[in-house]
Chains A and B, each alone.
Chain A
């Protein structure tokens, strides 16, 4: 019995159980939903407040997840992997930002003007960057469902070009779908992990 218990598998399941609450999906989906709604209604206030749900991530974890799952300090190896993942995400973010700056500061009149391309397809480029961020999260943090979110985000932005529809609508739908997936996971999580009685 004991010799067949795969400790790596136990560790992996323990780590992933902390993502079962869907909170990351909700706080990732809501900004995209608000961004899309801002585009639909042409309301700048939506853009200003769109990022704010991200601030709810840790308080929601403290309020919902920790009382049900408990505090855990993962193994040093896992902690190193998590730290490395954040560093890679940060570098990818800075790289995207630099790429954007270089593209906009590019010289005009070249055979392929990156700035013109960026302006023409700005939303698509933004969607691709966001989708890449989701895919990167899926790979680095081993939360595979973020690949679905990446596909939803890129599909949302892409469909606005392909079907010539108001860009905000598919973006809002993609963000709403991600938040709804998170909400579904949260409901299932609350049922699966009731509060531990004293």
Chain B
């Protein structure tokens, strides 16, 4: 790939950035869910600094695009609502990271 083609590819990466993930609050949610298998609401509220209402609204958006799924589990005989990234969500996050790196290159 020539230098020009590479530059063009980097510029196109900006267009390919996933708008759903690009929103800062959702990016935080995706990051903190990516590094674990699953976590509950309290974990996400603490790590993202979002309120329960805000978190709920962003989670709804992420659920709509099938990036996040809600699982009901029993931990020490207590029901806990756990949230985790779907396979699609994990792939989308990795793709976002790749495109973001290219986009940063493009703006250098």
Q: Which residues of A contact B (CB under 8 A)?
A: 1-3, 5, 7, 10-11, 14, 62, 66-76, 79, 193, 196-198
* Distance to closest chain B CB from A49 (angstroms): 26
The reply to whether A70 and B40 form a contact with Cβ atoms under 8 Å apart is: yes
A70/B76 contact (C-beta < 8 A), A1-B100, A3-B100, A7-B31 known: no
Could you say which residues of chain B place their CB within 8 Å of the CB of A74? 36-37
The reply to whether A14 and B97 form a contact with Cβ atoms under 8 Å apart is: no
The 6 closest A-B pairs by CB, nearest first: A70-B43, A70-B42, A3-B101, A11-B35, A2-B100, A73-B37
Give B24-36 as 1s and 0s: 1 = Cβ < 8 Å from A's Cβ atoms. 0001000110111
| Bound Cα distance A2, B41 (Å) | 23
Could you say which residues of chain A place their CB within 8 Å of the CB of B76? 62
Residue total for B at the interface (Cβ-Cβ under 8 A):
27
Q: Which residues of B contact A (CB under 8 A)?
A: 27, 31-32, 34-47, 52, 75-76, 80, 82, 96-97, 100-101, 104
Cross-chain contact of A71 among B31, B35, B80, B96 (Cβ < 8 A): B80
* Distance to closest chain B CB from A21 (angstroms): 13
